[in-house]
Amino acid sequence: MIQVRDLYKQFGKNEVLKGINLDIKQGEVVVIIGPSGSGKSTLLRCLNLIEMPTSGDIFFQGQSILDKKTNINKVREQIGMVFQQFNLFPHMTVLDNITFAPRKLLKLSKEEAYQLAVKLLKKINLEQKIDAYPSSLSGGQKQRIAIVRALAMNPKVMLFDEPTSALDPEMVGEVLAVMKQLALEGMTMVVVTHEMGFAREVGSRVLFMDEGQIIEEGTPQEIFTNPKHPRTREFLSKVL
Amino acid sequence: MPNLQRTRRIENAKSSLIVIALVAIVLIILSQMNFAFVGKYKHFYIQGTINTIVLAFFAVIFGVIFGVVISLMRISNSQVLKIVSASYVEFIRGTPLLVQLYIIYYGLPMLGIRFFDIRLPLIGTIPGDFIAGIVTLSINSAAYVSEIIRAGIQAVDKGQMEASRSLGLTYATSMRYVIFPQALKNILPALGNEFIVVIKESSIVSVIGIADLMYKADTVRTNTFQPFEPLIFAALIYFILTFGLSKLLGIIEKRMKISDSSS
């Protein structure tokens, strides 16, 4: 579904990604782990061109998204993204947050959009918050709504950029539960996280990144019980 | 929180008392002066005040319109637009308003650009000189307004644009529905300040003979041979205009905050 070929990214003189190759298949849950500054978030942000790669190519459903002829907005409609800082729109209600993009882009009527929002909110047990503003929600609620906002566009892939890192510990569970449910429903997911438990339980494949490169990849079992590379071992010994 | 409200009320009462005391002191000083001319020359002041308000009103309107355009150029991705708008802002901010006024009033006609009288419903005829004043003040104000708007837009968290674009929305749609409504809350208070500045700075057009409040006050001075009191009276009118405006803006701001917190 997504192919990354020889991807490089520099910020000024700082080389953050050094030749990434990656294939993500339909229905996979790819979890990217690694120390901070290893380029995991940058890689994720390159997948929908929120960050522009310096060189290399990215294919989404066989089509290069870096091609000048590709309409990146159309591609982004099919790639949902969830951010560490939630990034809900503070001046819109939960309803408007969820339905803003579908109404503008999928041309849903007010009624259709409302039904969609109710359906999605029921999934995360927050339908009573439909008229609330984000400022009145807890971090966990905000992030669950941010997930649902991305789902409202009915994307084919979901990208998660450290979705639980800005949350109080007691709220991490509720967000991970939504993500797990999503994985069970067959959603293709790419998740950058420090939640090793989630990686082990839900991930179909785990990538370990360090210094802009994918050092090691394999099933959760391979990575967590029998890491081959010394740097993977070192990292896991610190976080587990 | 009734307690908080109570302390606030006491604070308000205190500050009103101080204001009243200050006003009393000023009144005592003023009572030593001779304001008998006001009766005879009140039409001068009324006409001058109206002219100042009209001048400031149009300068603010056009200043905001130009200012929005320039700020959008400033945050665009085009290097050319960026350089043009940045130079504009730097030039206007780096030269005195008086020089700008002379350049436009004396300079442009030498290049063949003349200012004609304009007839408007309700307001009546606006003379050409007046137009030159409005143009100068608008051009000047636009530079400051554009900086206010640029700062307001850039103060909105970058994640907002990223989230909007990640949903597939275009830059323009994101700007209009996501960034701008949030930026407005940063912009409005500073913009109110700019309006007040325009009212005050508009007094400079009196040097090219536009009959604004300052010009009229000068006329009264020469007619009455009183060098001081006519200016004090003009200052008072300026103050009423700016203070009234700032109170009005304060009310509007408060309204916005209430609608914000109830949301």
- Select the residue from A79, A91, A100 to test the B interface by mutation, using most B Cβ atoms within 10 A: A91
The answer to whether B163 contacts A83, with C-beta atoms less than 8 Å apart, is yes
Average pLDDT of the residues in A215-219: 92
Query: Which class for B259: exposed (0-12), middle (13-18), buried (19 or more C-beta within 10 A)?
Result: exposed
Among residues B46, B41, B58, B38, the alpha carbon closest in space to that of B202 is found at B58
> What is the pLDDT at residue B262?
42
Closest partner residue to A50 (CB to CB) among B162, B170, B182 is B162
Determine the distance in angstroms separating the CA of A33 from the nearest CA of chain B, rounded to an integer: 22
Contact B167 A90 (CB under 8 A): no
Contact B178 A48 (CB under 8 A): no
**A205-210 β-sheet, strand order:** A79-82, A157-161, A188-192, A29-33, A205-210, A213-218
- Taking contacts as CB-CB distances below 8 angstroms, the residues of chain B near A65 are none
Query: Under 8 Å CB-to-CB from B44, ≥6 apart: which residues?
Result: B216, B217, B219, B220
Residue B259 vs residues B6, B110, B191, B247: alpha-carbon distances, Å: 22, 52, 20, 19
Question: CA A193, CA A21: separation in Å to the nearest integer?
Answer: 19
User: How far does B153 lie from chain A, in Å, by closest CA?
Assistant: 15
User: From the CA of A116, how many Å to the nearest CA of chain B?
Assistant: 16
What is the mean predicted confidence (pLDDT) over A135-147? 93
Interchain pair A76, B167: CB under 8 A: yes
Give the residue from B236, B206, B249 showing the smallest Cα distance to B35: B236
* Residue A159 scores a pLDDT above 90: yes
Which residue in A has a C-alpha nearest to residue B171's C-alpha?
A: A73
Complex ipTM: 0.91
Q: What 3 state SS string does chain A have?
A: CEEEEEEEEEECCEEEEEEEEEEECCCCEEEEECCCCCCHHHHHHHCCCCCCCCEEEEEECCEECCCCCCCHHHHHHCEEEECCCCCCCCCCCHHHHHHHHHHHHCCCCHHHHHHHHHHHHHHCCCHHHCCCCHHHCCHHHHHHHHHHHHHCCCCCEEEEECCCCCCCHHHHHHHHHHHHHHHHCCCEEEEECCCHHHHHHHCCEEEEEECCEEEEEECHHHHHHCCCCHHHHHHHHHHC
Q: In the prediction, which pLDDT does B2 show? A: 63
> Does B256 contact A at CB distance below 8 Å?
no
Eight-state DSSP code of residue B106? I
pLDDT reported for residue B241: 92
**Residues of chain A that touch chain B, judged by Cβ-Cβ distance less than 8 Å:** 48, 50, 73-81, 83, 85, 87-91, 93, 100-101, 104-105, 133, 135, 146, 149-150, 153
* Interface contact flag, A89 B178, Cβ < 8 Å: yes
pLDDT value of residue B260:
57
B positions 135-194 inside 8 Å of A (CB): 157, 159-160, 162-170, 173, 177-178, 181-182
**Residue B259 pLDDT:** 58
- Considering only alpha carbons, which residue of chain B is nearest residue A131? B263
- The pLDDT tens digits for A173-188 are 999 999 999 999 999 9
Count of A-B CB contacts under 8 Å: 63
Mean pLDDT of A132-141: 93
Which residues of chain A does B181 touch, with a Cβ-Cβ cutoff of 8 Å? 91
List CB contacts of B123: < 8 A, sequence separation 6 or more.
B54
Confidence of residue A45 (pLDDT cuts 50, 70, 90): very high
Report the residue of chain B nearest A94, measured CA to CA: B263
Determine the pLDDT at residue B258.
61
B chain contacts of residue A71, beta-carbon cutoff 8 Å: none
- Cβ B169–A50 below 8 Å, yes or no? no
Our CA-based measurement puts residue A226 at a distance from the nearest CA of chain B, in whole angstroms, of 36
Per-residue pLDDT in tens (0 to 9) along chain B, 263 residues: 567 788 888 888 888 899 999 999 988 887 787 878 888 888 888 998 998 998 999 999 999 999 999 999 998 888 999 999 999 999 999 999 999 999 999 988 888 888 878 777 776 777 888 888 999 999 999 999 999 999 999 999 999 999 999 999 999 999 999 999 999 888 888 888 899 999 999 999 999 888 888 988 889 899 888 888 889 889 999 999 999 999 998 888 888 776 555 43
